[in-house]
Structure 1
């Protein structure tokens, strides 16, 4: 049974989703970040994971559902923080972020409960911006992440290449769009209209914020 990790920032104005401003104000951008995180955690809570951990930069709020552990993020760059999150696990682990509120338990299912004879050593979820939204390791090894350049158009390729170079058998999850810009927010909301994130995007658009 797999541990499901979510790496996230506390949704505070001026600290999250700054690329949404403009057209959104810092307060609106933080509200969108909170909605995205809440939708993500609802999926995590509904998943088949054995253990659910939020690796958080900041303090939890009323958006945190029951049944999810909270641990502080390590210091350092994103590669160091992801590596430290994997070091919390002694068995298979899948890490996702807070930027894909359209994620569902069904999307995570193959990595959480591989089918008979699957034999994957790693699971990789590419993002449309060139990064990745999910990384799963059957045997968590921080060294598989440390030193990978983060937040570039080639991050996903570099991370997947690192896994292959280590001799791992890699299975791919579907490509998803991260919410980085206002256009991303609109597209993700249209793709997953039933969530809290989509409701907020729609409400802000009705108020003239697009």
Structure 2
């Protein structure tokens, strides 16, 4: 798996004050609905749980003063130690992301739960001690036109409110919002979200030793029996 399952989180200070993961409780019918079909709602929820677990175990080992999952729902056995839990605010996704940043003091980097293939290397540029030297924002574009990461040196919820979410132009609009606000923006690697079964296979191949890849392999084997 991607991280050890015992011990304490590494107390690493410096590049970013708060690491945020925006997530939904992985319940059938509420997550990864575009995986159904070919997967059942229960199977899609299992894949979502594995993706969330991989993401949180990666985050747990990264340098930050705080590591927080901003959760719609209740925590479960997928939550590793060393990760704080705060409830998502009300409203659309733009409002919920804005509220997550509004609750932060100091620099903050937010990622989603749909890129279980993320590694420390993917996030390293935004987490180094000099990450914010001459930089106001970090932006991680997604292949589907959205974004998988957003970092702000000075969290301003107004930079997210009103951005149309879950549409092909989401990422372009969000990045333009940062630039139009006069921020210096640096980019993280382009990554692929897990939305469809094809995405799931692609992402699992990129991280073959993770929980997500193991769960996808298990479900695939069960389907051919």
Q: TM-score, normalised by structure 2?
A: 0.90
Per-residue CA distance 1:27-61 (angstroms, 9 max, x = gap): 00000000000000000101011100110000000
Question: Deviation of residue 110 (structure 1)?
Answer: 1.2
Please tell me whether residue 187 in structure 1 is matched to residue 197 in structure 2.
no
Match of 1:24 in 2: 39
Question: 2:4: which partner in 1?
Answer: none
2:82 paired with 1:81: no
The answer to whether structure 1 residue 68 and structure 2 residue 93 are counterparts is no
Using the alignment, how far apart are the partners of 1:45 and 1:131 within structure 2?
24
Does the 8 Å CA contact 2:51/2:113 hold for their aligned counterparts? yes
Q: Distance in 1 between matches of 2:87 and 2:41?
A: 24
Name the structure 2 match of 1:34.
49
- 1:102-154 per-position Cα deviation (integer Å, ceiling 9, x unaligned): 01122112112253784110000000000000000000000000000100000
Match 2:187 to one of 169, 172, 190: 172
Shift of 1:206: 1.9
> Could you list the runs of 5+ residues in structure 1 that have no partner in the other structure?
none
Instruction: Name 2:176's counterpart in structure 1.
Output: 161
Aligned to 2:6: none
Show the counterpart of 2:27: 12
Counterpart pick for 1:137 among 152, 174, 183: 152
Equivalent residue pairs, number = 209
Root-mean-square deviation over aligned CA pairs: 1.2
Structure 1 residue ranges (4+ consecutive) displaced by more than 6 angstroms after TM superposition: none
Correspondence for 2:67: 52
CA 116–125 in structure 1, closer or farther in 2 if over 3 Å, else same = closer
Query: Who is 1:91 aligned against?
Result: 106
* C-alpha distance in 2 between matches for 1:190 and 1:114: 32
Q: How does 1:141-152 map to 2 (within 5 A)?
A: 141-152=156-167
SS of the counterpart of 2:68? strand
Higher alpha-carbon deviation: 54-63 or 117-126? 117-126
Gaps of 5+ in 2: 1-13
Residues 140 and 148 in structure 2, CA contact (< 8 A), matched pair in contact too:
yes
